[in-house]
Amino acid sequence: GPSVVWFRDDLRLSDNPALHAAIERGRSVVVVYVLDEQSPGIRPLGGAARWWLHGSLRSLAASLERLGATLTLRRGPAEPVITELAASVGAGAVFWNRRYGAAEREIDARLKAALSSGGIETRSFAGSLLFEPWTIRTGQDRPYSVFTPFWRSCTSGPPPRMPHPAPEAIPGLGGDLGGDLASDRLGDWALEPSHPDWAAGLREAWEPGEASAHHLLNSFLRDSLDEYADARDVPARAATSRLAPHLRWGEISPFQVWHATDAARARATGPAAASATRFLTELGWREFCYHTLFHAPELATVNIRREFDAFPWPPPDDRALRAWQQGRTGYPLVDAGMRELWRTGSMHNRVRMVVASFLTKNLLIDWREGERWFWDTLVDADPASNPFNWQWVAGSGADAAPYFRVFNPQLQAARFDPNGEYIRANVPEWGTDAYPVPIVDLGETRRAALAAYEHVKNTK
Ligand code: FAD
């Protein structure tokens, strides 16, 4: 019978191992995406992520169409939905690329059992990570909790496999079966906002889809790689790759990014080669976030360093939280970042660290509040990278920044946005009477945070 390929966080045709294997199997191929908001433990997507998903699926469907295949869309709990689809087409095999969250792995395990008992072959593939989390272990055979030895261990073995080329054609179902396959209409899922339509800034900043991911990678390697190591911390410079949402949705694979960068590194000399190594290390942080999520599935809700459970968060201050969310704290770099996020669905990495530090250490608001806001507003909102980095800044995470490292938003602005270019671009009223006065005193709140932190140490 035909092969079913279940697309998930791998919305691409090239270097898609599950699709590649299905085509190799030599039967007709059914391609499906399931919008699953019902399986137990599945975290509903945020607003910006839903917007991205809409564009990405539209792009994927068009690419599939060009190769002769039709993307089937279904909605519901994934395990029964896929089982039913497989039965209705008389599938002989169901293939997918792995995900690493606990709820997602449980769905896959149940599906595997259900399909196998019906005599249908199942196979899962490594498509989203360069190094499968269970393969990288310390000398004591434990998962890593510190980045540097983790990445050294990853990079001391054989290099990641080469990417698969894009398929040239996909053998469709044809005949009666193909015509009959029921599919939802993408528009009916209402992934895009309508009333109000807040996505204008997102549309301006981004183009979801595989083609645009490769375009970004190529122009980054051509124009910006040389200066990446120096300029990556300067938010006014467009010196980073902007690949994060494309990697989040699997429109490009880390294998493709790795090998293209490695080839550029081989051609480069001097500072450019060091820049390439630095860029690959950032991909390594993405791997480390997933390594951590795999071993600590409750990363988004539970402190990795459990002694932080004793941290005495003051009662919630909704007024301060809203000022932070809306970019009205009176600290221009913080406000610029939060407004960039709201407008474009993204924020420069340096500024993410500053706004996260400000929320947790100057407003003394629980990192989980910040993580939730980012989850809703980032187009790259990622189940591993978002909670990992929030815990990293808050001090409760794996290999985290020490708690007493409180970013001073004024010093950070002077250092990384010395001419105020980034701030002016995002906070046009900065420097006029219309700009809010600071909602807190930096020194006072920093001292309060360090005093609260004493509880963590004392209960250890
Ligand atoms: P580049 O500098 O070009 O880096 C290349 C790639 O490496 C990125 O696309 C990304 O996939 C990966 N990468 C870089 N830095 C990190 C990092 N610190 N952690 C994990 N992967 C990294 N990144 C996300 O992809 N999703 C998130 O939800 C997310 N939430 C964050 C929350 C906070 C509080 C902080 C401080 C950082 C967060 N990051 C997140 C990491 C980082 O800010 C973004 O990956 C980066 O800004 C994306 O821009 P870029 O693609 O141009 O990065």
What is the pLDDT, as a whole number, of residue 179?
54
Q: What is the pLDDT of residues 30-84, one digit of tens each?
A: 999 999 999 999 999 999 999 999 999 999 999 999 999 999 999 999 999 999 9
What is the pLDDT, as a whole number, of residue 269?
82
Q: How confident is the model at residue 265 (pLDDT cuts 50, 70, 90)?
A: very high
What is the pLDDT, as a whole number, of residue 249?
98
Q: Is 167 a member of any domain? A: no
Q: In this structure, are residues 36 and 76 in contact, taking their beta carbons and an 8 Å threshold? A: yes
Round to whole Å and give the CA distance between 261 and 308.
39
Q: Is 316 a member of any domain? A: yes
Retrieve residue 80's tokens: 């029964």
* Residue type present at position 337: G
Q: Is 196 a member of any domain? A: no
Distance 374 CA to ligand 1 centre (A): 12
Number of domains, the chain: 3
Starting at the earlier edge strand, list the strands of the sheet with 3-7.
Answer: 71-75, 29-35, 3-7, 93-97, 121-125
Among the candidates 265, 295, 325, a domain finishes at 295
Ligand 1 binding pocket includes 350 (Cβ within 6 Å): no
- Looking at the structure, tell me whether residues 137 and 283 fall in a common domain: yes
Ligand 1 binding pocket includes 289 (Cβ within 6 Å): yes
Ligand 1 binding pocket includes 353 (Cβ within 6 Å): yes
- Looking at the structure, tell me whether residues 83 and 139 fall in a common domain: no
- Looking at the structure, tell me whether residues 137 and 118 fall in a common domain: no
Ligand 1 binding pocket includes 381 (Cβ within 6 Å): yes
| Mean pLDDT (whole number) for 146-161 | 97
Residue 237 has pLDDT above 80, yes or no: yes
Residues 6+ apart with CB under 8 A from 124: 18, 95, 96, 97, 98, 108, 112
**Higher per-residue confidence, 458 vs 36:** 36
- Looking at the structure, tell me whether residues 110 and 140 fall in a common domain: no
228 is in an annotated binding site: yes
Residue 23 has pLDDT above 90, yes or no: yes
Ligand 1 binding pocket includes 247 (Cβ within 6 Å): yes
- Looking at the structure, tell me whether residues 260 and 332 fall in a common domain: no
- Looking at the structure, tell me whether residues 285 and 362 fall in a common domain: no
Residues 6+ apart with CB under 8 A from 191: 50, 51, 53, 54
- Looking at the structure, tell me whether residues 359 and 241 fall in a common domain: no
Question: Whose CA is closest to 169, among 72, 97, 65, 73?
Answer: 65
- Looking at the structure, tell me whether residues 16 and 144 fall in a common domain: no
- Looking at the structure, tell me whether residues 8 and 69 fall in a common domain: yes
What is the pLDDT, as a whole number, of residue 460?
52
What is the pLDDT, as a whole number, of residue 459?
63
Residues 6+ apart with CB under 8 A from 105: 99
Distance 385 CA to ligand 1 centre (A): 7
What is the pLDDT, as a whole number, of residue 174?
67
Backbone angles phi, psi at 31, to 5 degrees: -110, 135
For residue 42, the tally of other CB atoms under 10 A from its CB is 16
The CA-to-CA distance between both ends of the chain, in Å, stands at 59
Q: Is 189 a member of any domain? A: no
Alpha carbon 263 to its chain's center: 25
Q: What is the pLDDT of residues 109-144, one digit of tens each?
A: 999 999 999 999 999 999 999 999 999 999 999 999
Q: What is the pLDDT of residues 391-422, one digit of tens each?
A: 999 999 988 888 989 999 999 999 999 999 99
Ligand 1 binding pocket includes 385 (Cβ within 6 Å): yes
Backbone angles phi, psi at 85, to 5 degrees: -60, -45
What is the pLDDT, as a whole number, of residue 424?
98
What is the pLDDT, as a whole number, of residue 439?
98
Whether the model clears a pTM of 0.90, i.e. scores above it, the answer is yes
Round to whole Å and give the CA distance between 81 and 349.
38
Residue nearest to atom 2 of ligand 1 (CA): 240
Q: What is the pLDDT of residues 314-347, one digit of tens each?
A: 999 999 999 999 999 999 999 999 999 999 999 9
Q: Is 177 a member of any domain? A: no
What is the pLDDT, as a whole number, of residue 240?
98
Q: How confident is the model at residue 376 (pLDDT cuts 50, 70, 90)?
A: very high
CATH number at residue 22: 3.40.50.620
Round to whole Å and give the CA distance between 150 and 288.
7
317 is in an annotated binding site: no
Round to whole Å and give the CA distance between 164 and 226.
27
| Mean pLDDT (whole number) for 288-317 | 96
| Sign of torsion over alpha carbons 76, 79, 82, 88 | negative
Q: In this structure, are residues 178 and 274 in contact, taking their beta carbons and an 8 Å threshold? A: no
Residue nearest to atom 37 of ligand 1 (CA): 389
Distance 144 CA to ligand 1 centre (A): 20
- Looking at the structure, tell me whether residues 101 and 145 fall in a common domain: no
Among the candidates 237, 262, 295, a domain finishes at 295
Q: In this structure, are residues 183 and 73 in contact, taking their beta carbons and an 8 Å threshold? A: yes
Residues 6+ apart with CB under 8 A from 452: 311, 312, 313, 364
Residue 178 has pLDDT above 90, yes or no: no
**HSE toward the beta carbon, residue 69, CA cutoff 13 A:** 27
Dihedral of CA atoms 347, 409, 316, 404 in degrees, nearest 10, equals 110
Q: Is 182 a member of any domain? A: no
Distances in whole angstroms, Cα of residue 387 to Cα of each of 94, 95, 351:
31, 29, 16
- Looking at the structure, tell me whether residues 124 and 14 fall in a common domain: yes
Round to whole Å and give the CA distance between 410 and 333.
7
Q: Is 445 a member of any domain? A: yes
* Residue type present at position 210: E
Strand ranges inside 17-91, DSSP E: 29-35, 71-75
Ligand 1 binding pocket includes 380 (Cβ within 6 Å): yes
Q: How confident is the model at residue 177 (pLDDT cuts 50, 70, 90)?
A: low
Q: What is the pLDDT of residues 195-225, one digit of tens each?
A: 899 999 999 999 999 999 999 999 999 999 9
Backbone angles phi, psi at 222, to 5 degrees: -75, -45
For a pocket test of ligand 1, which of 281, 288, 373, 380 has the largest count of ligand atoms closer than 8 A to its C-beta?
A: 380
Distance 349 CA to ligand 1 centre (A): 6
Ligand 1 binding pocket includes 386 (Cβ within 6 Å): yes
Round to whole Å and give the CA distance between 288 and 393.
15
Stretch among 2-16, 260-274, 335-349 having the lowest mean pLDDT: 260-274
What is the pLDDT, as a whole number, of residue 175?
57
What is the pLDDT, as a whole number, of residue 270?
80
Q: Which residues pair with 7 in a beta bridge?
A: 33
Among the candidates 75, 110, 128, a domain finishes at 128
ipTM rounded to 2 decimals: 0.99
Distances in whole angstroms, Cα of residue 83 to Cα of each of 19, 91, 120, 392:
18, 10, 10, 39
- Looking at the structure, tell me whether residues 23 and 46 fall in a common domain: yes
Question: Whose CA is closest to 49, among 380, 383, 388, 389?
Answer: 380
CATH number at residue 140: 1.25.40.80
Range of the domain at 315: 306-458
| Sign of torsion over alpha carbons 52, 54, 55, 61 | positive
Q: Is 234 a member of any domain? A: yes
- Three-class SS of 99-119: CCCHHHHHHHHHHHHHHHHCC
